[in-house]
Amino acid sequence: MKVLMFGWEFPPHISGGLGTACYGLTKGLSNSDVEVLFVMPSASGDEDESAVKIINASDVEISHRVTDVRYLLENVQYLRVGTNMVPYLAPEEFTEMVEKSKKGQVKGFKSFLGQKYNFSGKYGSNLMEEVSRYAMVAAEIALSHDFDVIHAHDWLTYLAGVAAKKLTGKPLVVHMHATEFDRSGENINTLVYDLEKRGMKEADMVIAVSNLTRNIVINKYGIHPSKVVTVHNAVDFDGFEQMEIDNRIDEKIVTFLGRITYQKGPEYFIEAAAKVLKRYPDVRFVMAGSGDLLNRSIRRVAKLGIATKFHFTGFLRGEDVKRMFAFSDVYVMPSVSEPFGISPLEAMRSNVPTIISKQSGVAEVLHHAIKVDFWDIDALADAIYGLLAYPALSTMAIKHGFDEVNTLRWDNAALQIKEIYAQLTKK
Q: What is the pLDDT along the chain (427 residues), one digit of tens a residue?
A: 999 999 999 988 777 788 889 999 999 999 999 999 999 999 888 998 999 999 999 998 877 665 554 445 454 444 443 333 444 445 565 556 555 555 555 555 555 666 788 888 777 767 877 888 888 888 889 989 999 999 999 999 999 999 899 889 999 999 999 999 988 887 888 888 999 999 999 999 999 999 999 999 999 999 999 999 999 999 887 766 677 776 667 899 999 999 999 889 999 999 999 999 999 999 999 999 999 999 999 999 999 999 999 999 999 988 899 899 999 999 999 999 899 999 999 999 999 999 999 999 999 999 999 999 999 999 999 999 999 999 999 999 999 999 999 999 999 999 999 999 999 998 6
Contacts of 427 (CB under 8 A, 6+ apart): 171, 204
Sheet holding 370-372, edge to edge: 310-314, 283-288, 252-257, 330-333, 354-357, 370-372
Q: For residues 424 and 171, is the Cβ–Cβ distance under 8 A? A: yes
| pTM for this prediction | 0.85
Distance CA 257, CA 99 (A): 47
Domain 2-67+113-234+412-426, classified CATH 3.40.50.1100, yes or no: no
Distance CA 140, CA 160 (A): 10
243-280, pLDDT tens digit by residue? 777 666 789 999 999 999 988 999 999 999 999 999 99
Q: For residues 149 and 424, is the Cβ–Cβ distance under 8 A? A: yes
Task: Name which of 333, 335, 337, 345 is nearest 216 in CA terms.
Answer: 337
Distance CA 180, CA 190 (A): 9
Task: Name which of 337, 367, 373, 340 is nearest 354 in CA terms.
Answer: 367
Q: Give one DSSP letter per residue of 228-292, joined into a string.
A: EEE----B--TT--PPP-SS--SSEEEEEES--SGGG-HHHHHHHHHHHHHH--SEEEEEE---T
Task: Name which of 236, 232, 264 is nearest 365 in CA terms.
Answer: 232
Which element (helix H / strand E) includes 355?
strand 354-357
Query: Residue 16: helix, strand or coil by DSSP?
Result: coil
Q: For residues 421 and 3, is the Cβ–Cβ distance under 8 A? A: yes
Query: What residue spans in the chain does CATH classification 3.40.50.2000 cover?
Result: 2-67+113-234+412-426, 252-405
Query: Residue 205: helix, strand or coil by DSSP?
Result: strand
Q: For residues 243 and 323, is the Cβ–Cβ distance under 8 A? A: yes
Q: For residues 382 and 390, is the Cβ–Cβ distance under 8 A? A: no
Domain 252-405, classified CATH 3.40.50.1370, yes or no: no
Distance CA 162, CA 174 (A): 9
Nearest 10 degrees: Cα torsion 323, 329, 334, 335: 20
In degrees, rounded to 5, the angle at the alpha carbon of residue 56 between the alpha carbons of residues 51 and 60 is 135
- 2: phi > 0 → left, psi -120 to 50 → alpha, else beta; which? beta
Distance CA 427, CA 417 (A): 16
Burial string for 321-350 (b: 16+ CB within 10 Å, else e) reads bbebbbbbbbbbbbbbbbbbbbbbbbbbbb
Which element (helix H / strand E) includes 172?
strand 172-176
CA dist list (Å): 246 to 249, 251, 341, 413: 9, 14, 29, 36
Distance CA 145, CA 143 (A): 6
